[in-house]
């Protein structure tokens, strides 16, 4: 009697173990990429906003849907060309209608526009709005900035103080070609646009602010530097940089048929400047060491927005 009871208990425990093992395997299978699921290839540029968007979408695909995803860092022109040529599946960093108008004219007819993923962008020339140290004096007034102007046209009167320099980013960025046009439109003779990278630009800005030295840089919104320092865009009366715009998601034609799950997420992917800037700040505070880890942190703290991107049809 005792032996049979022990055997029955053993069988029950074995069934529990088998059931637990089966549940664990099923859970793992749900998160693991299926053998026939294609890898979504996202092309991006080493701009803070592009890095943030690419990593957060890739993290959602991998961690929430078990969908394989590959991030391809490249230049701005190559990003557009790769998706148009089918070497990549998507780009999430098309600044339209003005900043990337040239790229859209060249490649747009070979791409499918899924619409904006962020509305309210802005580009232009940026300067520090207040001086170094306290932002207000003893009487509460704002401290005087090293360069106290409000418009691009006024730069001509401060060429010597600025050393004739406008600090830019990588030469293929749309904001760089717009700034070259601004030099002509505002007749800024003696000025030169310094090519480099976003990292070099923000470091030059930080150094100038620390020394209370005049500086003008290419800037855009959303960007973490707008939350880090008190900055202002110079008035662009000739509308060289265009007004407010959007960041669009573009994919190669046929992606919806080839990979409907990923295309659905890309189509639903949208956020606002505040949501993006939260991730931008975290990536910056981590010195850009692991943007994917910061994207995981972001999706963990924004479950409702992530669920909207996944869609109820994919979450079930």
pLDDT tens per residue across span 169-221: 999 999 999 999 999 999 999 999 999 999 999 999 999 999 999 999 999 99
Assess if residue 46 is contained within a domain.
yes
If asked whether residues 222 and 140 sit together in one domain, one would say: yes
Assess whether 116 and 126 both reside in one domain.
no
Contacts of residue 14, defined as CB under 8 A and 6 or more positions apart, other chains included, come to none
The answer as to whether 303 is a domain residue is: yes
Do residues 113 and 251 share a domain? Answer: yes
Q: Rounded CA gap, 157 and 215, in Å?
A: 14
**pTM for this predicted structure:** 0.80
Residues 151 and 170 in one domain: yes
CATH code, domain with 275: 3.40.190.10
pLDDT value of position 35: 56
- Could you list the residue range(s) of the whole structural domain that residue 173 is in? 122-233
**134 and 110 within one domain:** no
Nearest to 69 by CA among 46, 99, 92: 92
Same domain? 224 vs 203: yes
The two beta strands, 245-251 and 192-194, are: unpaired
214 and 126 within one domain: yes
Q: How far is residue 185's CA from residue 211's CA, in Å, rounded to a whole number?
A: 31
Burial of 209 (0-12, 13-18, 19+ CB in 10 A): buried
What is the count of structural domains for the chain? 2
* In a domain? residue 6: no
Provide the 10 A C-beta neighbour count for residue 157: 9
Residues 131, 209: one domain?
A: yes
Instruction: Take residue 28 and report the two structure tokens written for it.
Output: 């793992």
**Residues 18-58: pLDDT tens digits?**
444 333 333 344 444 455 889 999 999 999 999 999 999 99
Low-confidence stretches of the chain (pLDDT < 70) are 1-35, 131-143, 312-316
């Amino acid at each position: 009697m005792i032996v049979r009871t022990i055997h029955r208990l053993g069988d029950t425990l074995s069934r529990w173990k088998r059931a637990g093992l089966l549940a664990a395997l099923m859970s793992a299978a749900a998160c693991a990429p299926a053998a026939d699921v294609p890898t979504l290839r996202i092309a991006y540029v080493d701009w803070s906003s592009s890095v943030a968007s690419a990593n957060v979408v890739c993290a959602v695909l991998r961690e929430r849907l078990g969908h394989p995803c590959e991030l391809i860092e490249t230049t701005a022109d190559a990003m557009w060309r790769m998706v148009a040529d089918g070497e990549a599946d998507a780009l999430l960093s098309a600044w339209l209608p003005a900043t990337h108008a040239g790229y859209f004219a060249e490649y747009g007819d070979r791409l499918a526009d899924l619409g904006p993923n962020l509305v309210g962008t802005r580009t232009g020339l940026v300067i520090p709005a207040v001086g170094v140290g306290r932002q207000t004096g003893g009487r509460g007034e704002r401290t005087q900035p090293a360069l106290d102007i409000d418009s691009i046209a006024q730069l001509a009167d401060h060429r010597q103080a600025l050393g004739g320099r406008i600090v830019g980013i990588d030469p293929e960025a749309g904001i760089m070609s717009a700034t070259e046009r601004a030099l002509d439109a505002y007749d800024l003779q003696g000025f030169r646009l310094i090519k480099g990278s976003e990292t070099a630009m923000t470091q030059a800005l930080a150094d100038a602010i620390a020394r209370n030295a005049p500086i003008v840089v290419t800037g855009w919104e959303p960007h973490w530097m707008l939350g880090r320092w008190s900055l202002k865009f110079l008035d662009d009366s000739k509308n060289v940089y265009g007004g407010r715009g959007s960041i669009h998601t573009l994919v190669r034609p046929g992606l919806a048929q080839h990979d409907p799950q990923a295309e659905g997420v890309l189509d639903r992917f949208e956020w606002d400047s505040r949501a993006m800037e939260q991730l931008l700040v975290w990536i910056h505070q981590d010195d850009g060491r692991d943007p994917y880890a910061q994207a995981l942190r972001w999706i963990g703290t924004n479950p409702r927005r992530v669920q909207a991107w996944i869609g109820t049809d994919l979450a079930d």
